[in-house]
Copies of this chain bind each other. A is one copy, B any other.
């Protein structure tokens, strides 16, 4: 039980920091030049407070990221089709990847900051393991598909934040185009038969903040 309740100034500050960091990352071009001191200043808080609340830089990023991701995570875990369970595996896999892509698209800066500054490999992050596990399980139900473990990694790699940023930011690929291409790619991977064309279905709610 414990969960010893925090002091109210503590929670106020915690939220102030999250909001400030959110805004800063959304604004600034390269995430690595949003400094901890910047965040603290923008939140009207001392550095000590910031580090006390989140441990270190990676902790702050993680907290932000997880907060944003949670709705999608829930939708994928127990929501309605096509994201939730009870959907044919091909379709669900496509929907999952599409959701991830949209998320990264809408939260590019943050995802980028987390993947590159997030204390080492993105593959050690808890949320990656979660996505991978889920996708792997779904792929296991696709008839005729082997190597579900590797395949899940490879498909997820197509949604890496820096790739998304490159496509969207540098090559100026519109969101819907990227979605369609990823869906098409996914279909190719999952289909044993001739690849059927597949355009992006109507998608996850956009929470565009950047």
Contact = CB atoms under 8 A, between A and B. Distances in A.
A85 interface: no
A185 B144 contact: no
A131 to B, nearest CB: 14
A67 interface: no
Interface string A145-180: 011011101100110101101110011010000100
A193 interface: yes
B121 A165 contact: yes
Most buried by B among A149, A150, A165, A185: A150
Nearest to A197: B146
A59 to B, nearest CB: 18
A84 interface: no
Given A153-B167, A192-B194, A184 B30 contact: no
A51 interface: no
Q: Main SS of the interface on chain A?
A: helix
Q: How large is the interface on A (under 10, 10 to 19, 20 to 34, 35 or more residues)?
A: 35 or more
A188 interface: yes
Contacts of A165: 121, 123
A87 interface: no
A185 B189 contact: yes
A56 B189 CA distance: 41
B116 A185 contact: no
Contacts of A24: none
Given A181-B147, A195-B192, A163 B170 contact: no
Contact of A182 (B150, B167, B192, B193): B150
